[in-house]
Amino acid sequence: MKSMAAKQLSALVGKEFRQMLRDRKSLFMLVGVPVMQIVIFGFALTNEITHAKILVEDYSRDPVTQRIVDKIQASTYFDVEEGSLMPDALNVAFRKGQIKLAVVFPVNFGSSLLHLHRADVQIIADASDPNTAVTLTKYLSSIIADYQMELDRTSKAPLQIEPEVTMLYNPELKGAPTFVPGVVAFVIFLICIGMTSISVVKEKELGTMEVLLVSPLRPALFLMAKGLPYLAVSLLNLIIVLLMSVFLLDMPIRGSIVLLLAESVIFIVCALAIGMVVSITSKTQQDAFMNGQLNMMAPAYLLTGFLFPVENMPLPLRLLANLVPSRWYYIIVKDIMLKGMGLQSIWKESLVLVGMTVVLLWVNTRILKVRLQ
Amino acid sequence: MMVSLNLECMERSGCKPMHQVTSEGITKTYDKGKSFAVDKVTFEVDKGELFGLIGPDGAGKTSLFRILTTLLLPDEGKAAVNGYDVVTDYKKIRNVVGYMPGRFSLYPDLTVEENLNFFASVFGTTAQENYHLIKDMYSQIEPFKKRKAGNLSGGMKQKLALSCALVHRPNTLFLDEPTTGIDAVSRAELWEMLTKLKAEGITILVSTPYMDEANLCDRIALIQRGRILSIDTPSSVTRKYKGKLYAAKSQSMYRLLEEIRKYDQTQDCYAFGDSLHFTLKDDSGNGIESLSDFLTASTHFSFDLREIEPTIEDCFIGLLRE
């Protein structure tokens, strides 16, 4: 019986591969679209940011720094978090993605400004998203400059606050690092859904489903065979996109490639499973295309988080975004590629992805009918 | 397992273990019970029998086949194939039957050979293992084995589909309208093939809208609007024809049809091939002479009337009238 299942599986997988490779037009689309997207998204997009988390490490704790922190707090751009002044707290907060920006007031900031008429302040930004980093740094600098002008009016000598800006992770502020993980997540997500969303419904339309049902073939085996060839193509797709990112866009892969590929396999299986659900529940290939591509496009585009930061969205949208697998994968890819982080930092996101995948696969085996209708 | 099932069957209802397919009051409705696709259908098919389900489009043939092949659940009634219940033992049935749907259901983008090997593997076998079964038919399409199935002619498509349905040597074969839409030569070849398969001991259920194919079956069921009108051997069906049937011919067929229908003793008159078939209310024998007189009086063309043996189609029309 086991060898029969193996035989059936290899026959099915072989058949799926043949059909896939013979459909040249679709195959070209499957591989061509991600490549195109990567190129198109080379143009970075600017966007306004509000309520960014900012960490204040105030070693001075005087009326001047208090006044500046109040001003930062008063603006809608920032939500202030008081720093613990622990040596490594700042680094940890950045690596965990808890903050976008940090401002450090050195000891005696206020007295230095009042007596020496000049003081240094350090601004540190997470530049793995360079647009956000630059925008936030500008906001912060202008708040500080405003305050400096206020003081100037009452002071005899001109005052000067010197901001010292550090861009973390991406000091050259390259555009590529931000869009590559996003496009990888977004494009792979949609392509995978698209691939499997027509796979089952195609058999229904052809009438071959009827013949396959009246056979000893098990539904789970059927679904597995449907997915495997597309998993292979998607991995190939991903590798092409990554190679392009590294060699064409000078994008680093700082973390483990093995981990990145492993996470990608989970994500791809997850997306393929979504497509499969769409396919099983659709009546025609057109239906499947509508449900799979058009309806998934907007959530994937908006809620993955690579164009618009999810943190700024209203609560219902933020909750909805949590249901979009590409959002979690985006975080994972960003952390592995740009921040060089390991599994210990992204295990939560990975767990979410694994959970989603398991649930989706289970749903698939439940909804695949053993009869017509 | 089989033996115990059959024994149980005998003890319970006294049914013969000979039956390969049984259907007891099978009913299937659509549109929430409003329209009946299959209406209390009861019949049996013996082991090794070639059984024909004859009826026009929309008679319920496909629905009945789908119930028997476990693709649809019946609303009412019980049915079994090879002793297995179609509802509870559906998995077992799927191992032992071959099914060829009415619509071409192979992969058009795979070659002839690939289709055959694929379906063989799905059933855990190889095309070589049961090659003797499909040899006669497959050898005709073998020259085109590298051709995509979608590019085959209608007749060849059906031969390939039948080969695929047979490749695992099923003990029961369900063929839903295998001859619809193919040429006369291919039709004849397909029926010849079915006779050979019967000799191999395979039970065959075949549906067709073509009444002339009924004579090639061991027994037939005439079906209309989900109901079985008659089940018997083709010769018994024609023998049981009620009343006398006449054929009429003339130079002007349309006028003749009109005139015969005008005659008040005519029960039914319809075009059949190159002649008209009709029945009379008065079957005593004088009726045909009175009609002849009536036609001579009202028309000025020559005609020919005579009594004939009814065909299956005449029987079908006769049953519909009842």
pLDDT for position A42: 52
* Inter-chain touch A207–B104, beta carbons under 8 Å: yes
Lowest mean pLDDT: which of A85-89, A226-230, A288-292?
Answer: A85-89
Same domain, A222 and A91: no
CATH (domain of A85): 3.40.1710.10
* Inter-chain touch B107–A206, beta carbons under 8 Å: yes
Write out the residue range of the structural domain in which residue B213 sits. 2-238
**Residue B93, both tokens:** 């049935």
pLDDT for position B114: 95
Same domain, B226 and B289: no
pLDDT at B2 over 50: no
| Alpha-carbon span B317 to B322, nearest angstrom | 9
Strands B97-100 and B172-176: parallel
| Position with higher pLDDT, A156 vs A328 | A328
* Inter-chain touch B122–A207, beta carbons under 8 Å: no
| Alpha-carbon span B36 to B60, nearest angstrom | 8
Same domain, B228 and B271: no
Q: Is residue A289 part of a domain?
A: yes
* Inter-chain touch A15–B94, beta carbons under 8 Å: no
Q: Is residue A134 part of a domain?
A: yes
Strands B97-100 and B245-250: unpaired
CATH (domain of B225): 3.40.50.300
Lowest mean pLDDT: which of A60-69, A170-179, A224-233, B51-60?
Answer: A170-179
Question: How close B96 gets to chain A, by Cα (Å)?
Answer: 8
Looking at beta carbons, which residues of chain B come within 8 Å of A373?
A: 72
Same domain, A350 and A300: yes
Q: Is residue A159 part of a domain?
A: yes
Looking at beta carbons, which residues of chain B come within 8 Å of A4?
A: 124
* Inter-chain touch B72–A12, beta carbons under 8 Å: no
| Alpha-carbon span B24 to B86, nearest angstrom | 12
| Alpha-carbon span A308 to A322, nearest angstrom | 14
Q: Which of A23, A217, A372 sits opposite B122 (nearest CB)?
A: A217
pLDDT at B65 over 80: yes
Please indicate if any CB of chain B lies within 8 Å of the CB of A18. yes
Same domain, B227 and B259: no
Q: What percent of chain A has pLDDT over 90?
A: 30
Strands B76-81 and B19-30: antiparallel
| Position with higher pLDDT, B237 vs A26 | B237
Domain end among B190, B221, B238:
B238
Handedness of CA A291, A294, A299, A300 (dihedral sign): positive
CB A87 within 8 A of CB A61: no
Give CA torsion, residues B226, B230, B235, B236, to 10 deg: 170
CB A250 within 8 A of CB A174: yes
pLDDT at A14 over 70: yes
Q: What is the DSSP letter of A255?
A: S
**Residue A357, both tokens:** 């995948």
Q: Which of A14, A208, A213 sits opposite B71 (nearest CB)?
A: A213
pLDDT for position A182: 83
| Alpha-carbon span A93 to A285, nearest angstrom | 47
Q: Which of A8, A206, A210 sits opposite B71 (nearest CB)?
A: A210
For B71, the closest chain A residue by CA position comes to A371
**Residue B71, both tokens:** 């693709």
* Inter-chain touch B71–A4, beta carbons under 8 Å: no
Q: Which residues contact B256 (CB under 8 A, 6 or more apart)?
A: B248, B249, B250, B276, B295, B299, B301, B303
Domain end among A121, A138, A168:
A168
Please indicate if any CB of chain B lies within 8 Å of the CB of A211. yes
For B168, the closest chain A residue by CA position comes to A215
Looking at beta carbons, which residues of chain B come within 8 Å of A18?
A: 109-110, 114
For A3, the closest chain B residue by CA position comes to B124
CB A285 within 8 A of CB A201: yes
Q: Which of B97, B108, B117 sits opposite A214 (nearest CB)?
A: B97
Same domain, A17 and A127: no
| Position with higher pLDDT, B62 vs A305 | B62
pLDDT, tens digit, for every residue of A305-353? Answer: 877 777 777 888 888 889 999 999 999 998 998 888 899 989 999 999 9
Q: What is the DSSP letter of B162?
A: H
Please indicate if any CB of chain B lies within 8 Å of the CB of A283. no
The H or E element that residue B197 is part of is helix B184-199
Q: Which residues contact B149 (CB under 8 A, 6 or more apart)?
A: B106, B107, B108, B109, B110, B111, B112, B115, B157, B160
* Inter-chain touch B105–A23, beta carbons under 8 Å: no
* Domains identified in chain A, total number: 2
pLDDT for position A48: 55
The question of ipTM being above 0.90 is answered as no
Looking at beta carbons, which residues of chain A come within 8 Å of B165?
A: 211
* Inter-chain touch B105–A4, beta carbons under 8 Å: no
Domain end among B238, B272, B288:
B238
Query: What is the pLDDT averaged over residues B172-178?
Result: 95
Question: Helix A257-281 to helix A219-247 angle, to the nearest 10 degrees?
Answer: 130
Tell which of B103, B118, B129 to mutate to test the A interface (max A CBs under 10 Å). B118
Looking at beta carbons, which residues of chain B come within 8 Å of A210?
A: 71, 99, 101, 105
Half-sphere exposure of B188 (CA within 13 A, CB side): 2
Q: Is residue A329 part of a domain?
A: yes
* Angle, alpha carbons A223-A227-A231 (nearest 5°): 165
Query: What is the pLDDT averaged over residues B138-160?
Result: 92
| Alpha-carbon span A267 to A52, nearest angstrom | 28
The 3-state DSSP class for residue B171 equals coil
Q: Which residue stretches of chain A are H helix?
A: 2-22, 24-40, 63-74, 89-95, 109-116, 130-154, 176-197, 199-206, 208-213, 219-247, 257-281, 285-289, 295-303, 315-321, 325-337, 343-367
Question: Helix A257-281 to helix A343-367 angle, to the nearest 10 degrees?
Answer: 20
pLDDT for position B39: 92
**Residue B101, both tokens:** 């749907």
- Smallest CA-to-CA distance from A231 within A201, A191, A203, A259 is with A191
Looking at beta carbons, which residues of chain B come within 8 Å of A23?
A: 109
Query: What is the pLDDT averaged over residues A78-106?
Result: 83
Please indicate if any CB of chain B lies within 8 Å of the CB of A207. yes
Question: Helix B112-122 to helix A2-22 angle, to the nearest 10 degrees?
Answer: 150
pLDDT level of residue B34 (50, 70, 90 thresholds)? confident
Write out the residue range of the structural domain in which residue A69 sits. 52-168
Question: How close B232 gets to chain A, by Cα (Å)?
Answer: 29
CATH (domain of B317): 3.30.70.2070
Same domain, A220 and A148: no
Same domain, A152 and A256: no
* Inter-chain touch A11–B109, beta carbons under 8 Å: no
Please indicate if any CB of chain B lies within 8 Å of the CB of A25. no
Same domain, A329 and A301: yes
Please indicate if any CB of chain B lies within 8 Å of the CB of A265. no
Looking at beta carbons, which residues of chain A come within 8 Å of B110?
A: 15, 18-19
For A205, the closest chain B residue by CA position comes to B105
Looking at beta carbons, which residues of chain B come within 8 Å of A370?
A: 90
**Residue A131, both tokens:** 């647009």
Same domain, B296 and B161: no
Same domain, A184 and A59: no
- One DSSP character per residue, A128-197 reads TSHHHHHHHHHHHHHHHHHHHHHHHHH-SSPPEEEEEEEEES-TT--SHHHHHHHHHHHHHHHHHHHHHH
Q: Which of B66, B103, B118 sits opposite A11 (nearest CB)?
A: B118
Looking at beta carbons, which residues of chain A come within 8 Å of B69?
A: 214
Query: What is the pLDDT averaged over residues B79-103?
Result: 94
pLDDT for position A287: 86
Same domain, A199 and A323: yes
For B165, the closest chain A residue by CA position comes to A211
pLDDT for position A172: 64
Strands B266-272 and B275-280: antiparallel
* Inter-chain touch A373–B72, beta carbons under 8 Å: yes
* Inter-chain touch A18–B114, beta carbons under 8 Å: yes
pLDDT at A45 over 50: no
pLDDT level of residue A178 (50, 70, 90 thresholds)? low
pLDDT, tens digit, for every residue of A259-294? Answer: 999 999 999 999 999 999 999 999 998 888 888 887
- One DSSP character per residue, B243-310 reads S-EEEEEES-HHHHHHHHHHSTTEEEEEEETTEEEEEES--SSSHHHHHHHHHHHH--S-EEEEEE--
Same domain, B158 and B135: yes
Question: How close A285 gets to chain B, by Cα (Å)?
Answer: 16
Query: What is the pLDDT averaged over residues B88-103?
Result: 94
Question: How close B122 gets to chain A, by Cα (Å)?
Answer: 5
pLDDT at B5 over 70: no
pLDDT at B12 over 50: no
